[in-house]
Structure 1
């Protein structure tokens, strides 16, 4: 930086080659940058040097009626330019005529010369540069080293719409968007409590992405909050462009196929999790919010379970648990039974299955592998291609390929049915990453089934269970409250108890377990006026 400092001294001295010290030399501090004095020209030159080759940075210089030179620095397209022109520039030019011997910042704040409420005074140049890059307007005044930053960001954002991946029938239709402030507003509108806290940190050396930890102070465990802050403090990367960047660096076991952090795009799901004692991690620029800690039963719950009547919700939850098990083991059981245990199949069905497999030249394992890979390819293709033709390709592809494969004798009709049922079962899983983990584990279990029959399937399930028992999510057992068994938390696991029975929060998540104190159904015991 010696050359820049020399150039700044020359500009301050009038552009000559003399090394004469100017009358008002700028002060230099390591924390604020090379220039932090009162000269407007020096500060603007330093900022232009720091932000050079940035065509979207606007430097607007103007003079107010008191004779002082001012400059406004901002990023084009990221602030409300009409607000800047009307409430900052024109207000300064109009109201500054009243400025005599009064301090200009006292005049701006105490006399309310400006109509912009969100303003902050700074005096360090590095803070000034960061304020401009954070979609703020920076006001510099000649003769005063203090600067004003105005929060008047107005960059284009997507409107609030329905959650595309977590749709419900009776619940809220709102979903998070890429704007962090609007996401926090949706949470604050649901949790109107002084205990709702949202501290913010920046991650990414180049992106300086805002990351917010949202929690309810009197419900959340302090040690959980400190652990999350400790893990986030170790992140030092060049950019954080999404919540997945943080997820992979703070989870307990990154080599496990099972997700140890839940993500969602629904504000009501996040609000319910915060009231249980969990912590949400919001990242600017993404609609996906992370929730920690999480357990396997939580990943098998849907927002719809809590909006329907508990009888219907319990029936749907039982179906979901059954098909989750089917999505993992159905092809393996078919391979094991047809290869090692045909006596388990009824005689008439066995004759039908044997007749369909008579012309198939491949063993059951290769037959299942081929159909599963084809189904995975169709599923991925339906996601990547345009939505207008994606559904047609997936349906037509499945029908044509399945029918043609059976007629050509490549696979049996029974295998097509098994793979189709397995695919449908995997779509029932509410959490996509959990469904993907089960899809991946399906293949090694199929190999064990082809080698050892049902004994291999059982061994594979035991190995998965041992892994799940040893898995943790921020210190919480992954199979809680099943293993270890916590009987008071079973009311929202295999069954969903009615709301008037769920008086306590989960034991593993919070120290404040009292959710409701009075019996909401106490009115039943009293004789009403309508009787």
Structure 2
């Protein structure tokens, strides 16, 4: 019995030792990440890295005058191969190398004598694998100890199209795409200066998403750029599939309904922000760029404010500021006046309200909440339905539900008017995320006004103002230039509620460095 146990123990120990040795050998092989001169070893290692990946193709070929040098091209199926392969940069490189003997091939590869500036050599398998996953082709050549990354078609993406949101009457209609490289090019197209810098980072442990930070080197505060990079490096996540994930993980006060990043789909708006000394964050696979720092005033501005004359731009600004206020407060004000402070209404208007509410079985707050929730539901349904059907359901549904509710004596006509006007005001706010904050706070004002009337309205308004006064975006007060205007010698006030003529907007906003804010001067 004892001999049997010793035999089993010996067999087990031998098995464990063998397994450990095998595991150690695999671990050492993985640790040795260097690319060798043997194509057979390199191909086996690369195939092991991408084992089980049916969409990764590896194609072996021969190059050189006598077709004596073996090579292997690895690529993602949709990014290369087929008839296009021979016409791509990869095919042209291989055809060029077929004109040289073995010695000349290695010399030209090591010295880059072919002048291929887009070709990047890699020394390790991890870099080569990362290069392949960017959508490029990786080329291994027997006898050459580097892998070459050669740009190819890249991943499929939507082309440059018209902007879906942030519509303007005058100005460019180009919108960002889902390719980070195309988006940076669209911004560079508008600012052709070498001082525009692009800093690239990879975010996401598994997605390895490319994120570009664009800024003007001589305008941005170095501390702002450092803070942005610090926040980007302050979290680890499996994947970043849209810039909205970065926005949520890097904002300072997550509980605030007000966005601390400005979003845009317009390259010209991003270019304006860079010229103001701000940072534009562009994430791969996302057509929406983030602008930071930002403030309340920036969300009210539109691109064509600067393309139109100052009178019409100022009128538009005033309307948008009023719209942002009424989108948040109008239903609450209606409840405060009708339930608590009817004496401030003219007698005829008060009698008209009373006649309209005759036969309605619900109190005013239930009427307002019922209609507000119905309009929010219609808005959500309109967004989810495709194309023209979404617009149709929003308009027709609102008319039908409102009319039917009035005829059924569920709500009064005045409530339908108030709710419809509130929705119209929220649509007038240029930035959708910014408008969402007022849609949320609208229900806070409804609750406070239904509880305490006009005193509740003042308390709710004071709470919002206190919150906004404490809110900052990367060190910039959210209520600039209405607070701290003396920091810029009151120059920012010229481009706030009113937009003065362009020749008076001679200084950049507070985002730019103090000593470099002059942007317009008269030539003598």
Confirm or deny a common fold (TM above 0.5): yes
| CA gap 1:470/1:63 in 2 versus in 1, 3 angstroms | same
Alignment-derived partner of residue 431 in structure 1: 431
CA distance in 1, matches of 2:457, 2:169: 37
| Residues in 2 aligned to 1:245 and 1:148: alpha-carbon distance in whole angstroms | 33
TM alignment of 1:455-474, pairs within 5 A: 455-474=455-474
CA distance in structure 2 between the partners assigned to 1:218 and 1:247 by the alignment: 25
With structure 1 as the length reference, what TM-score do the two structures score?
A: 0.89
For 2:202 and 2:21, the matched residues in 1 are separated by 30
Structure 2 CA distance, aligned partners of 1:211 and 1:177? 14
C-alpha separation between the residues in 2 aligned to 1:351 and 1:473? 48
* Aligned counterparts of 2:128 and 2:168: Cα–Cα separation in 1: 45
Once residues 369 and 2 of structure 1 are traced to their aligned partners in structure 2, the CA distance between those partners, rounded to angstroms, is 70
Structure 1 CA distance for aligned equivalents of residues 77 and 347 of structure 2: 76
What secondary structure sits across from 1:200 in the alignment?
Answer: strand
Mapping 1:359-508, distance limit 5 Å: 359-486=359-486, 487-508=490-511
Contact 2:166/2:431, CA 8 A, preserved across alignment: no
Provide the secondary structure at the position in 1 that maps to 2:75.
Answer: strand
Q: Give distance in 1, aligned partners of 2:112 and 2:213.
A: 34
* Post-superposition offset of 1:90: 6.5
CA distance, structure 2, for counterparts of residue 352 and residue 107 of structure 1:
87
Matched, 1:515 2:521: no
- Partner Cα separation in structure 2 for residue 467 and residue 249 of structure 1: 20
Higher mean displacement: 336-345 or 146-155: 146-155
In the TM superposition, what is the alpha-carbon distance from 1:368 to its structure 2 partner?
0.7
Paired positions, count: 499
Q: Residues 4-83 of structure 1: matches in 2 within 5 Å?
A: 30=31, 33=33, 36-64=35-63, 65=66, 67-79=68-80, 82=83
Aligned partners of 1:7, 1:235: CA distance in 2, in Å? 31
Matched, 1:316 2:316: yes
- Cα contact 2:35–2:147 (8 A) shared by 1: no
Does the 8 A contact of 1:265 with 1:287 survive in 2?
Answer: yes
Could you tell me which residue of structure 2 aligns to residue 141 of structure 1?
Answer: 141
**Other structure's SS at 1:199 match:** strand
Report which stretch shifted further, 457-466 or 439-448: 439-448
Q: CA deviation at 1:417?
A: 0.9
CA distance in 1 between counterparts of 2:380 and 2:109 reads: 62
Partner residue in 2 for 1:254: 254
Give the CA deviation at 1:92: 3.4
Alignment of 1:155-174 (within 5 A): 155-174=155-174
Cα contact 2:135–2:152 (8 A) shared by 1: yes
Tell me what 2:265 maps to. 265
- Say which is worse superposed, 115-124 or 202-211, in terms of deviation: 115-124
Question: Which has the larger displacement, 254-263 or 319-328?
Answer: 319-328
Give the conservation status (yes or no) of the 8 Å contact 1:310–1:498.
yes
TM-fit CA distance, 1:97 = 4.8
Is the CA contact 2:171–2:307 (under 8 Å) kept in the aligned structure 1? Answer: yes
Match of 2:108 among 106, 109, 118: 106
1: CA distance, partners of 2:26 / 2:423: 68
Q: Is the 8 A contact 2:97 2:105 kept in 1?
A: no
Question: How many angstroms does 1:105 deviate by?
Answer: 4.5
Structure 1 stretch 481-490 or stretch 192-201: which is displaced more? 481-490
| Pairwise CA distance, 1:434 | 1.3
Cα separation, partners in 2 of 1:83 and 1:123, compared to 1, 3 Å: farther
Task: String of CA shifts for 1:134-167, please: whole Å, max 9, x gaps.
Answer: 1111111122222211122343221211111011
User: Structure 2 stretches of 5 or more lacking a match?
Assistant: 1-19
Contact residue 28 and residue 36 of structure 1 kept, 8 A: no
How far, CA to CA, are the matches of 2:226 and 2:448 in structure 1? 43
Q: Is the 8 A contact 1:80 1:152 kept in 2?
A: no
Post-superposition CA distance 1:346-386 (Å, at most 9, x none): 11111111111121111111111111101101111111112
Task: Flag structure 1 segments of 5+ consecutive residues without an equivalent.
Answer: 9-26, 523-531
Alpha-carbon distance in 2 for matches of 1:191, 1:411: 54
Structure 1 equivalent of residue 193 of structure 2: 193
Q: Which residue is 1:19 aligned to?
A: none
CA contact (8 A) 1:88 1:116 kept: no
Deviation track 1:401-452 (CA, whole Å, cap 9, x = no partner) reads 1111111111111111111111111110011111111111111211111121
Distance 1:273 1:489, change over 3 A: same
Tell me how far 1:37 sits from its aligned partner.
Answer: 2.2
Q: What's the counterpart of residue 150 of structure 1?
A: 150
Deviation at 1:110, TM superposition (A): 4.5
- Cα deviation for residue 513 of structure 1 reads 3.7
Compute the RMSD of aligned alpha carbons: 2.2
Once the two structures are TM-superposed, the CA of residue 117 in structure 1 deviates from its matched residue by: 4.1
**Distance (Å, rounded) in 2 between the aligned partners of 1:7 and 1:438:** 58
Counterpart CA distance in 2 for 1:440 and 1:318 is 22
Question: Which residue is 1:20 aligned to?
Answer: none
Distance 2:92 2:168 in 1: 50
